Structure 1
């Protein structure tokens, strides 16, 4: 009698995103912010003009428009590490709503802050007290020279941690603000703030963001909604980042895209949306224009480029979280999927990071995702319109 042997699945375990949180000047949650970005609704009436230095001697002041979170959500008197904590609490709590009570205490968490903030472990103690789902012993905090890149790279490394350690999830969070006087003064003196004399400058902003990562098998076992799967990651360093005065040849960003796409079976042909942290600065736009013509195997394919900082403002080191949240929501509203989404984050000191996301089919969660699309402006998929 012949017997048949079940084939072992060759499908590798994937890391998925099951929770995301965001606090930004245009929204108090991820969905509110995503809706504002998708609609191009920047709510500039809530922004303000502040006086900053216009000369190194400090005897001349100049008006600068900034994109600050409204006072009813975050009092402007909060500064430094206290402001970072206030920016972190809502998004971390928001992303952890996806986790059932039974898994509390089985989640590692890491906070990424800019090196402009004096950091110590007291922020972990405070966050663990104010967010009951976090355990102090499993938290880490770091101040990074390249906070945008660090946020993306820690997401990639968290995937490795989930696959090799007996933990149920990893939260990666970040926060930053360009709205304090010291940083605004430096940006103005460096000629980087947008004003009538500098149309290629940035609108300084602030934000906090967080993401919850799990193994796909674990998420499916508890029937959790899966927002996106991480396809690949690429990382490189730009030898001539913008602040050094030398023109960038986009070698770092190109290498990061090539590295990420090399791990995809189609070498990136299925990537139809690209979301970057372009912020109005000419150097960033030129770097992307150089990169775009080098990375796709099918350059004639129509693609969409998005840069949410146009709506939210440049939120400094936390802009990578804004870009990620925008990518996740665009992936959801394009269900059935219309290809992968690639997002890119670039730091002033040269870090270049690329992360590719893809849709995961969950027919049992059809109503859940339809509700999200409804919240994001009543958009319907092509299948739903038929």
Structure 2
């Protein structure tokens, strides 16, 4: 690795599988169908969502944290875990040399929806003065900074479902530029809210299956995603600094790229041109070629159009058939959090040699030409380089290349 290599020294996560990376990692390794999958109200029949289990002050201590919007709470929990694993101490670090980058697609929609209901039913005088501090999209980054004495750069990136991955890429660039010595990157979203579900339902993005295995990435009978929520976080440092202090080495961010389709508000480019460019540019950034890739963590939303384009792209670029998995089969689609969650899981695959299965998918869609999707049970490999794809509305294409 070069002197500009960036190492991940801490990770954290909260998902519908539970609080902590280990809980989520076990769920995706088992290909588990998570409990708590609940039908929406009658006007959204046969649509589903997955919620993060409730947690209290034992998980998230601190005055006032119980009243924050869930997207902020989830970020705080994931970041707390990542800092603890890194061995860094916010009480003693130089906060001016620490940065935070948060990716989020929606912001505080739970808070805003509740405020709108209160306004409509009880009048303007009943709307809380805390409405905006709890709902503005940059408040997760701001609250993380306050909690951990971070006075360096604080960025919020909004790239729809690619937001969490873009946050990691931007954090990597801050370290390479020498702007910060430590950067925390996090993806978070809490979109399990009726109005959000209704919008996705109206556009036909949610699964039309009423079964608990409704999310079936790359399956011929896939019909849409299961709406989810959560957060994933990483602590990142330059490799030489991490080694000097004996920090954990949880994998490296070798390459990053972000392109835009400029094609359609919600549909990816039909030939996957933007996503292909992102993969090629990220590999070039890492000094690698497609044949160097051992594993692909796919965006894999379980929507017919997205999976078709991504599956064909993987087959086109990686003709040597690296293993492929799609974590949304178990975890649902957590929107702006997904890219960060999946990056952490891809890092776990690199450190353990275990590729989790793509749950609920009985076989790969024949249209995808033999995609090497891990099915049924986990697969033991020794991958050295992994690619994680994240694609979002607005034509966002983000690719992270990770290695050991």
| TM-score relative to the length of structure 2 | 0.74
Q: 1:325 to 1:267 in 2, by over 3 A?
A: same
Residue deviations 1:91-118 (CA, integer Å, cap 9, x gap): 0000001133243624211222224544
SS of alignment partner, residue 47 of structure 2: strand
Rounded to whole Å, the distance in 2 between the matches of 1:152 and 1:72 is 26
1:283 maps to 2:305: yes
Q: Do the aligned residues in 1 keep the contact of 2:346 with 2:388 (CA within 8 Å)?
A: yes
SS of alignment partner, residue 151 of structure 1: helix
Q: 1:171 to 1:147 in 2, by over 3 A?
A: farther
1:344 maps to 2:389: yes
1:161 maps to 2:148: no
Residue deviations 1:260-285 (CA, integer Å, cap 9, x gap): 22345551212110001212101111
After the TM superposition, which of the residue ranges 154-163 and 31-40 deviates more from structure 2? 154-163
Report the equivalent of 2:154: 140
Rounded to whole Å, the distance in 2 between the matches of 1:273 and 1:85 is 32
Report the equivalent of 2:343: 324
Rounded to whole Å, the distance in 2 between the matches of 1:122 and 1:157 is 18
RMSD: 2.8
SS of alignment partner, residue 165 of structure 1: coil
Equivalent in 53, 57, 71 of residue 70 of structure 1: 53
How much has 1:63 moved relative to structure 2? 4.4
Residue deviations 1:285-322 (CA, integer Å, cap 9, x gap): 111122123323xx2x2311111000000111111012
Q: Do the aligned residues in 2 keep the contact of 1:34 with 1:326 (CA within 8 Å)?
A: yes
1:85 maps to 2:72: yes
Equivalent in 193, 197, 208 of residue 195 of structure 1: 208
Number of matched residues? 331
Report the equivalent of 1:3: none
Rounded to whole Å, the distance in 2 between the matches of 1:213 and 1:52 is 45
Q: Do the aligned residues in 1 keep the contact of 2:105 with 2:163 (CA within 8 Å)?
A: no
Residue deviations 1:209-255 (CA, integer Å, cap 9, x gap): 111110100111111111011111222222435735x8621111111
Rounded to whole Å, the distance in 2 between the matches of 1:142 and 1:352 is 17
Q: Do the aligned residues in 2 keep the contact of 1:124 with 1:139 (CA within 8 Å)?
A: no
> What does residue range 221-260 of structure 1 map to in structure 2 within 5 Å?
221-241=244-264, 243-244=266-267, 248-260=270-282
Q: 1:110 to 1:338 in 2, by over 3 A?
A: closer
Q: Do the aligned residues in 1 keep the contact of 2:260 with 2:396 (CA within 8 Å)?
A: yes
Report the equivalent of 1:21: 12
**Which structure 2 residue ranges, 5 or more long, are not aligned?**
58-64, 109-134, 211-220, 355-380
Report the equivalent of 1:184: 197
| TM-score relative to the length of structure 1 | 0.77
Q: 1:295 to 1:164 in 2, by over 3 A?
A: same
Q: Do the aligned residues in 2 keep the contact of 1:341 with 1:356 (CA within 8 Å)?
A: yes
Rounded to whole Å, the distance in 2 between the matches of 1:357 and 1:115 is 27
Q: 1:63 to 1:282 in 2, by over 3 A?
A: closer
Rounded to whole Å, the distance in 1 between the matches of 2:316 and 2:209 is 34
Rounded to whole Å, the distance in 1 between the matches of 2:10 and 2:195 is 34
How much has 1:178 moved relative to structure 2? 2.8
Rounded to whole Å, the distance in 2 between the matches of 1:302 and 1:294 is 10
Q: Do the aligned residues in 2 keep the contact of 1:37 with 1:308 (CA within 8 Å)?
A: yes
Q: 1:125 to 1:166 in 2, by over 3 A?
A: closer
Report the equivalent of 1:311: 330
1:357 maps to 2:399: no
Report the equivalent of 1:368: none
Q: 1:251 to 1:52 in 2, by over 3 A?
A: farther
**Structure possessing the higher radius of gyration over alpha carbons:** 1
Report the equivalent of 2:374: none
How much has 1:39 moved relative to structure 2? 1.5
Report the equivalent of 1:152: 165
Residue deviations 1:34-89 (CA, integer Å, cap 9, x gap): 1211121232x222222163xxxxxxx52432111123469xxx999611111111
Report the equivalent of 2:126: none
